[in-house]
Amino acid sequence: MLAERSTPMLILTTNRGATMSARHCFDFDHERLGAHVAAMQHDPAAATLTIRSRHRWDGGFAVAGRTEEVAYADVALTQAHDVRTDWPHELGGSGSGPMAGQAGLAAVGACVAATYAAEAALRGVTIKDLEVTVEGSVDLRGAFELADVPVPFSGVAIKIHVTADADDAALEELAEASRRTSPMYQSFVNPVPMQVGLERRG
């Protein structure tokens, strides 16, 4: 059913030159970022980032997840965080965390926002404020096999709200760059090969 997914729609809204406390892209560590880029150009193997996580069922719809180490160019980086998912009380869950679908869309929004900010930093565009909103719909009949409908999201709308001292053309180009280079956005747009294995314990 992955092939039936619609491409996420990305919309850009701008507010140029508004007065507010400046939060700009130059918070990035340019020296470190530049070193990473140079290393990847010199050695493609240095560009591989491997992400691992573990998820344990915790009763009902609740799942206690935890991100594990991130391997970057064969170097283990400490990046352990708890990620708990659940369904709302109204849908039979205990409401102890966001739904997995919410977490997935949150990951897309976060990735698009970070990618937009990074692209702006690389191009010397100062951003004063940046917010990304994401909305998606899914037909649960597919998940419960009640009807022959697609299981994935039927559509996802992403909107980038940005305040910056740049013209609209430059900001639109940053949005296009975000579409091209956001790993999470591209994972939704293009089907990703997945394997599911089973290991019996006891």
Q: Which of 186, 126, 184, 134 is closest to 155 using CA atoms?
A: 134
Count of other CB atoms within 10 angstroms of residue 129: 15
Residue type for 164, please? A
Give the least confident one: 11-15, 62-66, 87-91, 197-201.
11-15
d(CA 80, CA 68): 5
d(CA 78, CA 95): 29
- Look at residue 70 and tell me whether its pLDDT is greater than 90: no
Please determine, looking at this structure, whether the domain spanning 2-189 carries the CATH number 3.20.170.30: no
Cβ pair 164, 127 in contact under 8 A: yes
- Look at residue 9 and tell me whether its pLDDT is greater than 60: yes
Average pLDDT over residues 183-197: 93
Give the domain ranges of the chain. 2-189
Instruction: Note the pLDDT tens digit of each residue in 123-175.
Output: 889 999 999 999 999 999 999 999 999 999 999 999 999 999 899 999 999 99
